[in-house]
């Protein structure tokens, strides 16, 4: 499968715990995006990488959220001290030079 | 800020009928408008997109129209089939900008009744 992959697909955690998600973009795609989707809503932009540089972060991304793309390939999104309001689907997308964005299957997070 | 409104939120049609979903965007700098289909529990998948230098684009049973003056764009599905049932999202972005982040509408749940 040469599409965008995400791991894990599902995560259940207790409030206050830290979680980390991984995204592997399509090979050679230099742009990587993280979005968050809650039930009944469209995806909301969280952050954007061009190669290894994080160039934009949404105001939705509180200080408890951090994202990295250390070698310009895969990316990780970490949420510290999770809250129930963090429960959502976290989607990753990649593109080549700003063209079509291809989405991964998402990581569904449930914070108890 | 940037905003995309999408209507209707739900749409039920009989198999073979046409379906139309409409979106309005707020940022006049937007120039790229994709449509994604999302089946339950699956990833959003691009079904068609249009750029602002084109007023209409068609791909088999799917077409998209764009009115830049009114900042409206619409998805048209003809001869609907049960497998068209899904949630459809419109989005807008400024392709060529620093980010090209997508601003999504709230989605339309399309149900095609056999």
For residue range A43-81, what is the model confidence (pLDDT) as tens digits? 999 999 999 999 999 988 899 999 999 988 999 999 999
Nearest CA in chain B to A91: B43
B62-97 residue pLDDT tens: 999 999 999 999 999 999 999 999 999 999 998 767
Mention every residue, 6+ apart, whose C-beta is less than 8 A from residue B41: none
| pLDDT over 60 (residue A1) | no
Q: In this complex, do A48 and B46 lie within 8 Å of one another by their Cβ atoms?
A: no
Q: Do B102 and A44 touch (CB under 8 A)?
A: no
CA atoms of A106 and A19, how far apart (whole Å): 14
Closest Cα of chain B to A44: distance in Å? Answer: 7
| Rounded Cα gap, residues A21 and A19, in angstroms | 7
Give me the pLDDT at residue B56, please: 95
Tokens representing B111 are 């149900």
Q: Which of B3, B27, B44, B75 to mutate to test the interface with A (most CBs of A within 10 A)?
A: B44
CA A53 – CA A83 distance, rounded (Å)? 28
Q: pLDDT (tens digit, 9 = 90+) per residue, B39-69? A: 998 999 999 999 988 899 999 999 999 999 9
What is the percent of chain B with per-residue pLDDT over 70, rounded to a whole number?
97
* B5-26 confidence digits (pLDDT tens): 999 999 999 999 999 999 999 9
Interface of A with B in 51-90 (CB under 8 A): 55-56
């Amino acid at each position: 499968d040469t599409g965008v992959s995400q791991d894990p697909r599902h995560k259940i955690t207790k409030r206050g715990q830290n979680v980390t998600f991984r995204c592997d973009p399509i090979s050679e795609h230099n742009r990587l995006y993280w979005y968050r989707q809650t039930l009944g809503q469209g995806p909301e932009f969280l952050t954007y990488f061009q190669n290894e540089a994080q160039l934009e972060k949404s105001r939705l991304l509180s200080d408890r959220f951090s994202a990295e793309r250390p070698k310009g390939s895969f990316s990780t999104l970490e949420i510290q001290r999770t809250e129930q309001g963090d429960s959502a689907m976290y989607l990753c997308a990649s593109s080549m030079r700003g063209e079509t964005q291809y989405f991964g299957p998402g990581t569904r997070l449930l914070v108890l | 800020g940037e905003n995309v409104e999408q209507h209707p939120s739900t749409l039920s049609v009989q198999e073979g009928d046409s379906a139309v979903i409409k979106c309005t965007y707020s940022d006049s700098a937007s120039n790229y408008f994709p449509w994604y289909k999302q089946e339950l529990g699956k990833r959003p998948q691009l079904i068609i997109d249009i750029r602002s230098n084109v007023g209409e684009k068609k791909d088999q049973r799917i077409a998209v129209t764009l009115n830049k003056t009114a900042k409206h764009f619409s998805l048209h599905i003809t001869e609907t089939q049960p497998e068209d049932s899904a949630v459809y999202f419109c989005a807008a972005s400024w392709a060529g900008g620093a980010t090209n982040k997508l601003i999504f509408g709230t989605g339309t749940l399309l149900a095609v009744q056999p």
